[in-house]
Structure 1
Amino acid sequence: MDLNGKVIAVTGAGRGLGRKIAEMVAAKGAQLALAGLHEEGLRETARLCEAAGGQAAVYQLDVSDESSVERAFSDIVREFGTLHGLVNNAGITRDGLLVKAKDGQVEKTMPLEDWEAVIKVDLRGVFLAARAAASTMIELGQGGVIVNISSISRAGNFGQTNYAAAKSGVVAMTVTWAEELARHGIRAAAIAPGFANTRMVSSMPEKALDRIKARIPLGRLAEPWEIGHSVVYVLENDYFNGRVLEVDGGLRL
């Protein structure tokens, strides 16, 4: 797909990876539909996208709320007239052990609300946004592409029962959609980043970060632009479909 002039929606675009992904897609001349919860962050992303050479509009939505998602995608098509791609980036973490115990005594368990919060955004939200985008693309009759952001943690990661389950589910949905939607000219693929230099990761304790970096063969965290570059590749490569592009510096959890 030649991104020049194309309309690409990015969820979770108000900060972090979503912001950098949107900025890099905008640099290809695309028109960005920036979606997320926090208007102030989205406005700043829009400014960066326009400075990069693209156009951008802001849409407040809660990806876990069906009516909010449906309304936002309806607004995008009404204002832009079309939709060519979706980057399903919105996500949260609520890390913790399934069961924390010492000397045979259970001290704490993962709260159900932490499990449900992550599944609601990271799995249900991806489903809702993809369903809305795919429906729109089919009705427009011009095809398109859905890029889902999974994670290295999809294979399982210490202290991330909820997040790992959600990101594994994202991959399974991606493969399913690639098979189902190809007949409509719609591709579906996923990016599985390793640990990137974002605010969420950098807020981790310094000792924990040092342990992570020591395990990465390249010896450092990914920069957000490196993940953004991978998203641009998947959007542009019309033969990349139903697969997961791993961008993790060689780390294996």
Structure 2
Amino acid sequence: MKLQDSVIAITGGGQGLGRAMAEYFAAKGASLALIDLMPEKLDEAVTACKVAGGDARSYVCNVAREPDVEETFTAIQRDFGKINGLINNAGILRDGMLVKVKEGEIVKRMSLSEWQSVIDVNLTGVFLCGREAATHMIQNGDHGAIINIASISRAGNMGQSNYSSAKAGVATLVPVWAKELARHGIRVMGIAPGFIETEMTQSMKPEALERMTASIPLKRMGKPDEIAFTAAFIFENDYLSGRIIEVDGALRL
């Protein structure tokens, strides 16, 4: 699959990794359907994609709501006439211990809302968007690819019961969908990033960032363009399907 003239939908496309991937693909001549909840961020990302050389349109959508997702992908199909690729990138964090104890006393427990909100966006959102993208691809006869953005946290990370569980589910959907959709000419892959330089990590305290970086064998965090390059490699290699590529500087060996 060539990125030139392809239509790629990206959830969480208004900022962070989503925007970085969008700009990278735009520079290669792709058209982008950017999906996010924040209109102002979407507007900035659309402008950046057009400056980079590709067409782009924005879609305000809550990926955890089925009607929103159905309407959004119908609109993408109407606007572009096809869908060649999807990157399931949207995600949120609500970190916390399952049960936090201080001086022998339980001071906090992860709430059901903290659990459910992460599952809704990070896992259910992937299911809904993947289903809608695959539906339109099959109906159109558009061969293409779906990329699920997982995380090395899928192996289990302290303080992330909700996030680790969701990302484990996201990763598991990769081989399931790859087997189910191969007959329709649709490939499915996953990317599991480690620590990447984004707005979220830049807001961390310097000492926390220093400790984090020291734990990475390559002694640096990844750059958003390195995730974008990996996604482009997946899209352009038509024999890749059903696997997760970890981009983590050898953090998880």
* TM-score normalised over the length of structure 1: 0.98
* TM-score normalised over the length of structure 2: 0.98
What SS is found at the alignment partner of 2:170?
Answer: helix
Cα displacement (A) at 1:212: 1.1
- Indicate the residue corresponding to 1:186 in structure 2: 186
- Indicate the residue corresponding to 2:84 in structure 1: 84
Amino acid at match of 2:80: F
Amino acid at match of 1:102: K
RMSD: 1.0
- Indicate the residue corresponding to 1:140 in structure 2: 140
Cα displacement (A) at 1:205: 2.7
- Indicate the residue corresponding to 1:199 in structure 2: 199
What SS is found at the alignment partner of 1:173?
Answer: helix
Distance of 1:176 and 1:204 partners within structure 2: 36
- Indicate the residue corresponding to 2:98 in structure 1: 98
* Correspondences of 1:79-228 after superposition (within 5 Å): 79-228=79-228
Distance of 1:115 and 1:203 partners within structure 2: 23
Distance of 1:200 and 1:142 partners within structure 2: 35
What SS is found at the alignment partner of 1:245?
Answer: strand
Cα displacement (A) at 1:209: 1.6
Cα displacement (A) at 1:27: 1.1
State percent identity of aligned pairs.
54
Distance of 1:202 and 1:162 partners within structure 2: 22
After the TM superposition, which of the residue ranges 197-206 and 64-73 deviates more from structure 2?
197-206
Cα displacement (A) at 1:202: 1.9
Distance of 1:233 and 1:27 partners within structure 2: 15
- Indicate the residue corresponding to 2:246 in structure 1: 246
Alignment length (residue pairs): 253
Cα displacement (A) at 1:102: 2.8
Residues 156-200 of structure 1, C-alpha deviations (whole Å, 9 max, x = no match) = 111111000000000101110000000000000000000111011
Amino acid at match of 2:168: S
Q: Is the 8 A contact 2:171 2:244 kept in 1?
A: yes
Cα displacement (A) at 1:51: 1.1
Cα displacement (A) at 1:8: 0.5
- Indicate the residue corresponding to 1:58 in structure 2: 58
- Indicate the residue corresponding to 1:30 in structure 2: 30
Q: Is the 8 A contact 2:82 2:142 kept in 1?
A: no
Distance of 1:58 and 1:92 partners within structure 2: 20
Distance of 1:126 and 1:142 partners within structure 2: 20
What SS is found at the alignment partner of 1:166?
Answer: helix
Residues 13-62 of structure 1, C-alpha deviations (whole Å, 9 max, x = no match) = 11101000111111110010111111111111111111111100111111
Amino acid at match of 1:109: R
Distance of 1:70 and 1:3 partners within structure 2: 25
Residues 122-174 of structure 1, C-alpha deviations (whole Å, 9 max, x = no match) = 00000000000000000001221000100110101111110000000001011
Distance of 1:160 and 1:204 partners within structure 2: 17
Give 5+ residue unaligned stretches, structure 1: none
